Amino acid sequence: MTRSSSTIDERSARLFVSIVETKSARIAGAVLHDYHAASATALIGAGLLVPDAPVLVATSLADHDDEPVNLEWSPEQRAYGYFSPAAGWVTVDSERLQVFRFDANAFLVRLTSRLDLPRSARPAERIPGHLWELGDVRLPGRGARVPIWYARRLTDREIWQQVVNYFGGRPPADFRVVVTTSVTRGLAEADLSRHQFIALGDLEISGAGLVVEPTYLAAQLKAGAATHAGDPVRHAAGFRHLWVGEREFKVSVSWLPRGFQLDGLKFHGSRSSMRLWR
């Protein structure tokens, strides 16, 4: 079993997401081992959490005052520790000093492990530490590939604005899907035309945490051309967008009559078939 296919249960997946959504995307080893021992083993074993620089501060374990103490290296003990008036020298286990950070590359390899991406596709970081382009994925029931991205910390207003500015300056040819570990409820998606943000938790299947299931992703799509780029009249799945040549129309209603007009153009048809009246 490879690291990208190792089993991550729901509890471990939720812990990982909570770490990724913090500003530093890091967690202290002491917290991991004291409160999340089983999840720590799974996440570290899968390469999703990797060691970072240690923190040379600990809470006194001998004086019962819960005060942080600075640690010193003891050549005799060959370990870090501190001197306690009550207990003398106290050695602190190295695993408690270690800080772990999320490994973006390992996570994105796992995230896309079930997706049909081009062999040459590699995650490309577009906004450092927050936005990655993953490639164009082939999904069940869709003729054209769908561009898929990953983003974190979208509930942070500053990060959200950076993402809006980045995408706004690079509009998709058709539409764009962004998978995120952030909570999507409340995101101002109206800021971006032809973009859909989908929470990772809506795309996982039991026993395969932190992996996008292609059929779930296909079922979640609300946009994207359901017709072909060469058609004179194109529409998005759900009919939220219509294109006539290079002209785009946004439709806010949940249904369309068989005969209707947009900006003086007359259309005839149904959800499964549409044409422009001549």
pLDDT in tens, 199-256: 999 999 877 899 999 999 998 887 544 444 455 555 544 444 555 665 656 555 444 5
pLDDT in tens, 9-64: 999 999 999 999 999 999 988 889 889 999 999 999 999 999 997 766 666 666 55
8-state DSSP, 251: -
94 and 43 part of one domain: yes
98 and 137 part of one domain: no
Does residue 205 sit within a domain? yes
Burial of 225 (0-12, 13-18, 19+ CB in 10 A): buried
pLDDT in tens, 160-200: 999 999 999 999 988 899 999 999 999 998 899 899 999 99
Helix (H) / strand (E) containing 177: strand 176-180
116 and 126 part of one domain: yes
In contact, 12 and 39? CB cutoff 8 Å: yes
Q: Cα dihedral sign for 159, 164, 170, 173? A: positive
Q: For residue 59, give its domain range.
A: 3-102
154 and 112 part of one domain: yes
Tell me the Ramachandran region of residue 80: left when phi exceeds 0, alpha when psi lies from -120 to 50, beta otherwise: beta
Does residue 227 sit within a domain? no
126 and 63 part of one domain: no
In contact, 193 and 164? CB cutoff 8 Å: no
Of 93-102, 185-194, 224-233, 268-277, which gets the smallest average pLDDT? Answer: 268-277
145 and 186 part of one domain: yes
In contact, 8 and 43? CB cutoff 8 Å: yes
* Number of folded domains that form the chain: 3
124 and 70 part of one domain: no
Does residue 228 sit within a domain? no
Does residue 21 sit within a domain? yes
123 and 166 part of one domain: yes
User: Which of 66, 83, 102 finishes a domain?
Assistant: 102
Does residue 109 sit within a domain? yes
68 and 11 part of one domain: yes
Tell how far CA 123 is from the center of its chain. 12
Strand order in 265-269's β-sheet? 259-262, 265-269, 274-276
In contact, 211 and 113? CB cutoff 8 Å: yes
User: Which of 102, 124, 154 finishes a domain?
Assistant: 102
